[in-house]
Structure 1
Amino acid sequence: MKKLSSAEVRQMFLDFFKTKDHMIEPSASLVPVNDPTLLWINSGVATMKKYFDGSVVPENPRIANAQKSIRTNDIENVGKTARHHTMFEMLGNFSIGDYFKVKAIEWAWEFLTSPEWIGFDPDKLYVTVYPEDKEAKRIWLEEVGIPADHVVEIEDNFWDLGAGPSGPDSEIFYDRGESFNDLAEDDPENYPGGENERYLEIWNLVFSEFNHTPQGTYEPLPHQNIDTGMGLERMVSIIQDAPTNFETDLFLPIIGKVEELSGKKYGVDKQLDISFKVIADHIRSLAFAIGDGALPSNEGRGYVLRRLLRRAVMHGKKLGIDQAFLYKLVPVVGEIMVSYYPEVKQQEAFIEKVVRTEEERFHETINDGLTMLNDVLAKLKDHNETTLNGKTIFKLYDTFGFPVELTEEVAEDEGLKVDHEGFEVEMEAQKERARAARTTEKSMGVQTALLGDIKVASKFVGYEHLENESELLVVIQDNGIVAEVSEGEAQLIFAETPFYAEMGGQIADIGMIVDQSGKIIANVVDVQKAPNGQALHTVEVLASLKEGENYFLQVNAAFRNKVIKNHTATHVLHKALKEVLGDHANQAGSLVTDKHLRFDFTHFGQVTAAELKEMEKIVNQKIWEAIPVVTIETDIDTAKNMGAMALFGEKYGHDVRVVNIGDWSIELCGGTHVANTEDIGLFKIVSESGIGAGVRRIEALTGKEAYEAFREEEEQLIQVAQIVKSPQIKEVVSKTEQLQQQLRELQKENEQLATKLANQQAGDVFKDVKEINGTTVITAQVNVKDMNQLRQLADQWKQKALSDVLVLGTVQGEKVNLLAAMSPTANEKGLKAGDLIKAIAPKVGGGGGGRPDMAQAGGKNPAGLSAALAEVANWLA
C-alpha cells in the first residue's frame, strides 16, 4: 500500500475514472442551487439529482466527482468518535443509464487493489451484498475472484428513500487488524458491516434499478444507474495508518495550530482531545460554507453556522483560549485544501472577517452566561438535584445569548438532565424559524421517458437573428407526442429557433409563429430548456401546426430589446459592486426581465446610501462612455485565462460565451446583450435590502423605465415644494430645514409648558400624604402626557423626601401609565416598588416591573386606574 497525501488520494481517484472515460464534474457549492429540498449539499449524489431524475441529460453518462458535503444531524458525536464530521468529502463515480454492476464492481476493485493505484492487500478487503442480489454476489465471487468468506450478506443493503429510484447496494470494508478490535471475538457485531472499529466501510456501490412506486411496488427503471460514494477522510486514515480521521493530514495541521494558540498538547488528555477535534472539524465547515456564501444568523443555514462557531468557541475555552482564535485557523484550512478547493484561499480575508466578527460578538456576552451557568450547576449538585430548570435555560439564551445546545452539552458533561418542556414555549419562535428553513430531502424523481428520450438537434440562432424560418420537429400536447395540434396549449421543438430559452436569470423571449401565408398561428408565451438542451417553446395554438412543416418564428423585438438592456446593465452593476464593496460581493442570484433587473449578492453588513450612489454613478458612467460589448465563443480554459468571471448557479461546458465590456467587465454568460453600453440609455437603483443572512438585493431600472422613475420622483418633489410653499424645487431642502427648526422650537416650548404644568400639579398632589402601618404614602392620578413626565414628578418627590411610597397614574386616550417609587426607608422595611407595581397593574389590564426603588407599568383599561390606586393601601396594609 502506497503512502499518499489526502490531495494525492483525491486526485488519484479522479484520474482513475478519467481513464474509464468519465467526465469529471467540479465540486458544487455547499449551498444548494435550485434545490429547496436541501439545507446543504449533503452527499456526492446530491448534485447528480438533475441527471438521475432526467431533468438534465449529461454530456457524458459517465461522471465522477469529489464533492464537499455538510451534515449536522448528529453534531454531538463530532470529536467523540473516530469518524463523525460536519464537513466531509465524498468521492463518487456515477453511471446515468450506461454501465451497471459488472463495471462498477470491477473498477472499484481495480482502483483499491491495483499496485498502479491504491494498492490495498486484497486479503484485507471484505464486501457486503443484499441477500437477494445474486448477480452482485456472483460478480464478486466469479469475476473478481474474491474468497467466499470475504462476502457477507446483509439485509440492510438496500438503498431506498421511500419513493423513486432504489436498489441493492454493495459495501466494501477494510480490515484494520486485531489491534483495532474493540469487541470480543464472539460479539455478534464483530464482522464486516457490524458496529465495530476493526472493519471500516470505505466504499458503497448503489445499484439503482427499481422505481419504488407510491403504491409500494418496485418496478424496473427504464435506465439502470450507478451511484457510488467513497469517504476521503476514511480512506486517508487507512492509507496514512491513522488511529482516527483526525490524525491525518486533513486535520493535523489545524490541531497543531490550536496547540500553538492554547499551549495544550493533543493526545495527552482524552477529554481535551475532544475539544481539539471539534474545533478542527467545525472550522473546516465554517470556512467552506462562508466561502460559498452562507453567513451566521438565527435561522436556516446561518443558524447551523452560528451553532458550529459557538460550539468551537466553547471548546476553545476548555483549552484555555479566552479570546477570538478561530479566524486564525482559516489560512490553515485554505492551505490544506488549496490543491482542489482554491476558494478558501481566494476568499481568506473575507472568511476571516466574518468568523472574527461573529467570535468577538459571542465573546462579549458569553462570559457572563457561562459564569451564571456554572454557578447554577454547582448549586444543583450541592442540593443533589439532577435536572437543569427550563426557565434558567431560557434566561441564559435570552439575556446572555447562550445557545440552548451548549447549555445542554455543559449540563450533560456535568451529569445533569435538561428540562426541555420548561423552555419550549419561550423558544418556540426561534425554533420555528430554524425549522422553517430546514426541509427534508425528498426522493429523486423517476426519469421522464418523454422529454429525456427526445434527441433531435435544435440550434439557437437568436444571437444574430430575431426571425427565421425553421422546420417543426416535435409537437407535444397532453404529455404525449402528436403529429398535429389545432387548439389549446402545446410544446414545440424546431430545428432552429431565434427564441431565447430562460436561463442564467434571463427570462425567455416571447413572440409568435407565422405560417407560409403570413397568418399568425401561435403565440409563444414561454421557452425552457428540454433535458437534452433543445429550446422547448410553450405556445397558445391559434390554428393548425403540423410536424415536418416549415414556419416563421418571430421574436418580439421590443420585448427582447428591453431585456438585453437590463441584462448588460446587470453585468456592469456586478463589476461596480466589486469596485465599491470589495471582491467578496459575489452574485447570489439574478432576474432579468423586460421591466427591471434584480441582483442578489453576498455582503456582510449594510450597504450605505453613499455606496449605492457610487455604484449607480459608475454604471451610468460606463453607459455614457459608449463601450462596445463584445461577445466571443471560446473554450472554458481560455475564458478563465482572460479573467472571465463565472456567474452563480450556472453550469458551463467546454465551450462558453464570454461577454467583454471594454476589458473592464468580463463574464461567462450565455445570455443576450446590447451591442454597446450606450444602448442601455439610463440606469437607476430603486431599492436595496437584505433578503437573508449576508445576502443583499438590488433592484434597478434601465432605459424608459428608469426615465419614468426619475420623472415620478420629480413630480413628488414638485408636490413637496408646493406643500412647504417653496417657489422653486432647488429651495425645497432649505425650506424644509427651516420648518424642522420651527418644529423643534415649538416642541421645546411645549415641553417647558408641560413641565410647568406638572410642577403645578405636584404642589397639590404632594400635599395629600397618608400613613398606613407606619408607612407614609402618596397616591394620585395626574394629568401629564407620558411616562417621562411621571418620572420627572418622581424625581421631585425623591429630592424633597415627601413620603416613603409614591404611586402615580395617568391616562392618555385608551392607554394607562403607572409609576411606583420607594424611599430607602421603605426598602429597608422590605418594600419593593417592583412587587407593588405587579400587584396593582392588573387593575388597569396590564403588567410591569422594575427596581426596588422605582418600577413602572402600562395598561389598556383606563377605567381601572382608581381601583389600582386604591389597591396600594390594601397592599401596604
Structure 2
Amino acid sequence: MKQLSSAEIRQMFLDFFKSKGHDVEPSASLIPVNDPTLLWINSGVATLKKYFDGSVVPKNPRITNAQKSIRTNDIENVGKTARHLTFFEMLGNFSVGDYFKAEVIPWAWEFLTAEQWLGLDKDKLYVTVYPKDTEARRIWHEVVGLANERIFDVEDNFWDIGEGPCGPDSEIFFDRGQSFNDVAEDDPENYPGGENERYEEIWNLVFSEFNHLPDGRYVEQPHKNIDTGMGLERLVSVIQGTRTNFETDLFMPIIEKTEALSANKHYNANAKDDVSFKIIADHARTVTFAIGDGALPSNEGRGYVLRRLIRRAVLNGKKLGIESDFLYQLVPVVGQIMQSYYPEVLKNKEFIEKVIRSEEARFRETLDAGVALLNQTIADLKAKGESVVPGATAFKLFDTFGFPVEMTQELAEDEGLSVDMDGYQANMQAQRERARAARGDAQSMGSQDKLLMGIETESKFTGWTDTEDQAVLQALIVDDALVAQATAGVAQVIFDQTPFYAEMGGQVADHGEIIDADGAVVARVLDVQHAPNGQNLHTVDVEGTLKKGATYTLKVDLIRRQKVSMNHTATHLLDTALRMVLGDHTHQAGSLVEPNYLRFDFTNFGQVTADQLQQIEKIVNTQIWRALPITWKEMPLEDAKKEGAIAMFGDKYGDTVRVVTIGDFNKEFDGGTHPDNTSALGLFKITGESGIGAGVRRIEAVTSQEAFEYLNHQEALLHQVAAAVKSEQLDAVPAKVASIQAELKASQKQVESLQAKLAAQAASGLFDSAEPAGDYTLIKAQLQVAGMNELRQLADEWKAKQASDVLVLATAAKGKANLLAAVSADAIKKGVKAGDIIKAIAPKVQGGGGGRPDLAQAGGKDPDGIPAALAAAVTVLAAK
C-alpha cells in the first residue's frame, strides 16, 4: 500500500474527480448560510442542497469537494471508539442530474484500486447494497468484477431524511484483518456492515433517485442525483495502517504537544489516559475551525456546543495533570497540520487563541463552583443518611458547569454514593425536546420544482447600467403552469433581458412597472428572485394583458432603486470600517439592504463600545465626503483574489466574478447595484447596535434623506428635554441635567437617612422579643419600613447582637409583600437554613424566593398573607 500523507490523499481525491470533469467546490464555512435546519455543516452535501432540491441549477452538474464538517450527536463516544469524531472532513463527488450508478460505481473502484491513485488491495474490499437495488449489485459484479460473496445485502442501505430527495446507497468496506477486530471470527456481527472493528466503512455512494412526499409516498425524481461521502480521517487511518483515526498524521502532532504539556503523561501508556488524549485532540480541531469560521462560546446554539467542547477538553487536561490554560496552545499545531488546504487557520491563529484562552480561564472559575456544589450536595446527603445524588443535580452539573455525568459518578463513588441516572436522563430528554421544539418543523431539503427547472431560456440582467429596457416575455406562469396569456391576478414572468434586480446578497429586489406598446401599465413588479437556471423570475400583479412573445417596456422604480443602491454602498464602507476599528477577525455574517435602512451583521468577540461606534461612523462619513468614484468590472476569480477583493461571507463564486471598487477604500466581490460616487449617500448615521447571537453583532443605519430625518428627530427630542429642564440653550442641556441628577442624588440620600431612622424606630425593642420555636429561638415581626433594603439592614443588626437563632421579618411596600429570613451560624450547623424557611412561608403571600443558608428573601403579591407567613415560620422551625 502507498505511503501517503493526509494532505496528499485529500488532494488526490479532488484531482481524480477533476479528471472526470468535476468542478472543485471549495470547503464552505462550518456555519450554515440561510439554512435554519442545521446547527453546523455536517456533510459534504449540506452545502449543495440548492442544487439537489432544484432551487439552483449548477453551471457544471459534476461537483467534488473536501468539506469540513461537525457532528456532536455522539460526543460522549469521542475518544472511546476508533472512529467517533466531532470535527471531520468529508470527501465527496456529486452528480446533479448527470451521471448515475453506471459511472460512479466503476469510478469509485478505480480511485480505490488503480496504481496511479490509492492502489488499495482489491481482495480487501467489500461492498453492501440495498436488497431491492439489483442494478447496483449487477454493476458491482458484472462491470467491476467483484465476486458475489463480497457483495452483501443490507436493509438499512437506504438514505432518507424525511421529505425530499432520497434513495438506496452502497457502502464500501476495507478489511483490516481479524487482528483489528473486537468480536470473535464466528460472531454473527463479523461481516462488512456489522458491529465490529475489522471491516472499516470508507465510502458511501448514495443514489438519490426518489422524492419522499409529505404524504409518505416515494416517487421518481425528475433528475436523479449522485451524492457520495468518504471520511478523510477513516481513509487516512486505512492507508497509514493505524489502529484508530488518532494515530494518523491528522492527530498525532496534537497528541504529542499535549503530552509535552501534561504532568509526564504519555499516549499509549494506559487506556484511561488515552481517552483524555483523544478527546483533547478531537476537540482542539473542532473548536479551532469553528471559531475560525465565526462561532463563539455562549450558552445557546453553536456557542453552547463550543463551550461544552472546550470545557470537556479542559476537564480531560486536568485528568492528565494540566492545571493551567493549555487548549489555546494547540491552535497553531492544528493550523500547521491543515495549512495545505486550510491556510486561514494560521492566518486567524491569534484571534482563535484569544477566544479559547478566555473561555478556558472562565471555565476554571466555573469548575471550582461546580466542585463546590457537588461537595455540598454530597455533604447534605450524608447528613441525611442518603446515598444517591439526585438526577437533577447531576444534570445541572452537566448543563451549567460542563461536568460530564461520568465525572459526577466518579466523584460520587469516591464518597460512597451513586447517581440517579434515570433522573439525569429524564432531565436530558426534556432538554432535547425543548431544543427540538425550538428548531421547529423546517425541512432539511426541499423538493425539486420540475416546471422551473425545465425553463432554460436565456435572460440577461441589464440593471447595472439601465433602469428601463425593452424586453420580450419568454415564460409566463400562472398557478404553477405555463400559459400563453394572463389578464388578472398574480403571475411569474421571465424576459429575455431585464433591468429588475433579483434579491441576492442581502439587497432586496427592485419594484416597478411593466408597460405595453400603447404605454399602458399592464403589470406591477412585486418581487424578483432567481429561478433554478439563474434567470430573474419576476412576481407581478397583472392589471392588463400579458402575452408570451410580446415586447414590453420594463421600468424600475427609480427612487426605490437609488435608495437601495446607496444603502448597499454603505454596507461596503461599513464592512471595511469595522475591520479597521475592530480587527481583521471580524467578517460579515449577514445583511439586509432596504430602501429606508440597512442592517449589517458581523462577528465580534465582545461588545462594540460607544467610542468604537463613533470611529466607525466617522470613517464611513469621511469616505462619503471624499466623493470616491464607484466602479465595477468582471474578471477571473483568481485575478480578483490577487487584487485583494473581499469575498462576502458564505457566498459562492463562479470562474468569473464582478468586482466593485470604491475609490482606494474598498474592493469586494459583488453583484448588487451602487451609485456612481459615494457623495450620493450624503450622510451615514448608525441608529442601533446590538448582539443577536453568540459572537454576532448587528448594526442598523440610515443614509441620505433618512439620515437627515433621523438627526432632525433626535434634535427635536433634545429640544423637548431642554424645555423640560428649563434650559434656553441646547449646549447647556448636559450641564443642566447633571445638576438635576446631583440634586436628586442628594435628596435620595436624605430619604434613605430618614428611612433608616424610621426603620430603627419601628424596630425599637424588636431584638428583645425572642420566642421559643421547638429547640430554637425566633424573632419575627411585621414592620412598617420602605422595603427589602431596610429589612436587610435590620438583619445585619440582629446578626451583630446575636439576639436569637432565627430572624423572620416582613413588610408591605407598594402593594406587595417582602419577606426575609436569617439564621445564626450555630443553627445552620444543626440543619436550619434560611432558604428552606423562606420557601416554606412564601406561598402564604403568593410568592417565592430563596437564598443562602444564612440569609434568604422572597417577594409576594398578597401583603394580607404576611401574618400567616410569620405564623408558618414558627411551625416550620418547631418541626426542625
Whether TM-score is above 0.5 comes out as yes
- When normalised by structure 1's length, the TM-score is 0.93
- Offset of residue 441 of structure 1: 8.1
> Which residue in the other structure is 2:524 paired with?
523
> Which residue in the other structure is 2:40 paired with?
40
> Which residue in the other structure is 2:787 paired with?
786
- Offset of residue 817 of structure 1: 2.8
Alignment deviations for residues 74-107 of structure 1 (CA, whole Å, 9 cap, x no partner): 1111111111111111111111111111210111
Alignment deviations for residues 659-682 of structure 1 (CA, whole Å, 9 cap, x no partner): 111232111101011111111111
CA distance in structure 2 between the partners assigned to 1:434 and 1:766 by the alignment = 52
CA distance in structure 2 between the partners assigned to 1:772 and 1:374 by the alignment = 31
Go from structure 1 to structure 2 and tell me whether the alpha carbon gap of 1:483 and 1:260 turns closer, same or farther (over 3 Å shift).
same
CA distance in structure 2 between the partners assigned to 1:72 and 1:38 by the alignment = 12
> Which residue in the other structure is 1:685 paired with?
686
CA contact under 8 A between 1:300 and 1:438: conserved in structure 2? no
Alignment deviations for residues 128-161 of structure 1 (CA, whole Å, 9 cap, x no partner): 2233322222222222222333222333322233
**Aligned counterparts, 1:145-224, within 5 A:** 145-224=145-224
CA distance in structure 2 between the partners assigned to 1:56 and 1:159 by the alignment = 22
CA contact under 8 A between 1:511 and 1:523: conserved in structure 2? yes
Alignment deviations for residues 341-370 of structure 1 (CA, whole Å, 9 cap, x no partner): 122222111111111111111111213423
Q: Name the SS of the counterpart of 1:506 in structure 2.
A: coil
- Offset of residue 28 of structure 1: 1.2
CA distance in structure 1 between the partners assigned to 2:114 and 2:792 by the alignment = 85
CA contact under 8 A between 1:278 and 1:312: conserved in structure 2? yes
- Offset of residue 383 of structure 1: 12
> Which residue in the other structure is 1:814 paired with?
815
Alignment deviations for residues 260-286 of structure 1 (CA, whole Å, 9 cap, x no partner): 111311011011101111111111111
- Offset of residue 782 of structure 1: 2.8
> Which residue in the other structure is 2:333 paired with?
332
- Offset of residue 777 of structure 1: 6.3
> Which residue in the other structure is 2:494 paired with?
493
CA distance in structure 1 between the partners assigned to 2:141 and 2:811 by the alignment = 91
> Which residue in the other structure is 2:54 paired with?
54
The answer to which of 460-469 and 841-850 deviates more is 841-850
Go from structure 1 to structure 2 and tell me whether the alpha carbon gap of 1:122 and 1:160 turns closer, same or farther (over 3 Å shift).
same
> Which residue in the other structure is 2:274 paired with?
273
Identity %: 62
- When normalised by structure 2's length, the TM-score is 0.93
The answer to which of 613-622 and 168-177 deviates more is 168-177
Go from structure 1 to structure 2 and tell me whether the alpha carbon gap of 1:822 and 1:408 turns closer, same or farther (over 3 Å shift).
closer
CA contact under 8 A between 2:178 and 2:185: conserved in structure 1? no
Go from structure 1 to structure 2 and tell me whether the alpha carbon gap of 1:61 and 1:382 turns closer, same or farther (over 3 Å shift).
farther
Go from structure 1 to structure 2 and tell me whether the alpha carbon gap of 1:319 and 1:467 turns closer, same or farther (over 3 Å shift).
same
Q: Name the SS of the counterpart of 2:474 in structure 1.
A: strand
Alignment deviations for residues 198-221 of structure 1 (CA, whole Å, 9 cap, x no partner): 221111112222333445444332
CA distance in structure 2 between the partners assigned to 1:833 and 1:372 by the alignment = 18
CA contact under 8 A between 2:687 and 2:701: conserved in structure 1? yes
Q: Name the SS of the counterpart of 1:315 in structure 2.
A: helix
> Which residue in the other structure is 2:585 paired with?
584
> Which residue in the other structure is 1:135 paired with?
135
Go from structure 1 to structure 2 and tell me whether the alpha carbon gap of 1:58 and 1:684 turns closer, same or farther (over 3 Å shift).
same
Go from structure 1 to structure 2 and tell me whether the alpha carbon gap of 1:583 and 1:197 turns closer, same or farther (over 3 Å shift).
same
CA distance in structure 2 between the partners assigned to 1:211 and 1:771 by the alignment = 77
The answer to which of 153-162 and 674-683 deviates more is 153-162
> Which residue in the other structure is 1:609 paired with?
610
CA distance in structure 2 between the partners assigned to 1:574 and 1:864 by the alignment = 59
- Offset of residue 445 of structure 1: 3.3
**Aligned counterparts, 1:479-490, within 5 A:** 479-490=480-491
CA contact under 8 A between 1:298 and 1:434: conserved in structure 2? no
AA matched with 2:30 = L
> Which residue in the other structure is 1:557 paired with?
558
Alignment deviations for residues 584-614 of structure 1 (CA, whole Å, 9 cap, x no partner): 1110000001010000000111111111111
CA distance in structure 2 between the partners assigned to 1:151 and 1:824 by the alignment = 75
CA distance in structure 1 between the partners assigned to 2:535 and 2:316 by the alignment = 54
CA distance in structure 2 between the partners assigned to 1:793 and 1:61 by the alignment = 78
> Which residue in the other structure is 2:597 paired with?
596
Gaps spanning 5+ residues in structure 2: where?
none
Go from structure 1 to structure 2 and tell me whether the alpha carbon gap of 1:743 and 1:10 turns closer, same or farther (over 3 Å shift).
same
CA contact under 8 A between 1:596 and 1:699: conserved in structure 2? yes
CA contact under 8 A between 1:560 and 1:594: conserved in structure 2? yes
CA distance in structure 2 between the partners assigned to 1:22 and 1:829 by the alignment = 76
- Offset of residue 375 of structure 1: 8.6
- Offset of residue 792 of structure 1: 3.2
CA distance in structure 2 between the partners assigned to 1:628 and 1:785 by the alignment = 65
- Offset of residue 376 of structure 1: 6.6
CA distance in structure 1 between the partners assigned to 2:774 and 2:555 by the alignment = 96
> Which residue in the other structure is 1:707 paired with?
708
Q: Name the SS of the counterpart of 1:476 in structure 2.
A: strand
> Which residue in the other structure is 1:124 paired with?
124
Confirm whether residue 13 of structure 1 aligns to residue 10 of structure 2.
no
CA contact under 8 A between 1:175 and 1:198: conserved in structure 2? yes
**Aligned counterparts, 1:620-769, within 5 A:** 620-763=621-764, 765=766
The answer to which of 263-272 and 406-415 deviates more is 406-415
Instruction: Report the aligned-residue RMSD.
Output: 3.0
Alignment deviations for residues 728-763 of structure 1 (CA, whole Å, 9 cap, x no partner): 111101111111111111112222222233333444
AA matched with 1:812 = A
> Which residue in the other structure is 2:91 paired with?
91
Q: Name the SS of the counterpart of 2:600 in structure 1.
A: strand
Go from structure 1 to structure 2 and tell me whether the alpha carbon gap of 1:411 and 1:794 turns closer, same or farther (over 3 Å shift).
closer
AA matched with 2:785 = V
> Which residue in the other structure is 2:538 paired with?
537
Alignment deviations for residues 768-823 of structure 1 (CA, whole Å, 9 cap, x no partner): 67788998765543322122223334445565666776554322132223445567
Go from structure 1 to structure 2 and tell me whether the alpha carbon gap of 1:719 and 1:411 turns closer, same or farther (over 3 Å shift).
same
CA distance in structure 2 between the partners assigned to 1:15 and 1:709 by the alignment = 56
The answer to which of 215-224 and 241-250 deviates more is 215-224
Q: Name the SS of the counterpart of 2:68 in structure 1.
A: strand
AA matched with 1:33 = V
Q: Name the SS of the counterpart of 1:83 in structure 2.
A: coil
The answer to which of 840-849 and 471-480 deviates more is 840-849
- Offset of residue 533 of structure 1: 0.6
CA distance in structure 1 between the partners assigned to 2:208 and 2:850 by the alignment = 64
Q: Name the SS of the counterpart of 1:36 in structure 2.
A: coil
CA distance in structure 1 between the partners assigned to 2:645 and 2:195 by the alignment = 50
Go from structure 1 to structure 2 and tell me whether the alpha carbon gap of 1:593 and 1:329 turns closer, same or farther (over 3 Å shift).
same
**Aligned counterparts, 1:259-298, within 5 A:** 259-262=259-262, 263-298=264-299
The answer to which of 307-316 and 574-583 deviates more is 307-316
Go from structure 1 to structure 2 and tell me whether the alpha carbon gap of 1:416 and 1:13 turns closer, same or farther (over 3 Å shift).
farther
CA contact under 8 A between 1:377 and 1:411: conserved in structure 2? no
Q: Name the SS of the counterpart of 1:170 in structure 2.
A: strand
Q: Name the SS of the counterpart of 1:539 in structure 2.
A: strand
Q: Name the SS of the counterpart of 1:444 in structure 2.
A: coil
AA matched with 1:311 = R
Go from structure 1 to structure 2 and tell me whether the alpha carbon gap of 1:504 and 1:678 turns closer, same or farther (over 3 Å shift).
same
CA contact under 8 A between 1:298 and 1:430: conserved in structure 2? no
CA contact under 8 A between 1:300 and 1:437: conserved in structure 2? no
CA contact under 8 A between 2:473 and 2:549: conserved in structure 1? yes
Go from structure 1 to structure 2 and tell me whether the alpha carbon gap of 1:233 and 1:386 turns closer, same or farther (over 3 Å shift).
farther
Q: Name the SS of the counterpart of 2:592 in structure 1.
A: strand
AA matched with 1:336 = I
CA distance in structure 2 between the partners assigned to 1:243 and 1:440 by the alignment = 41
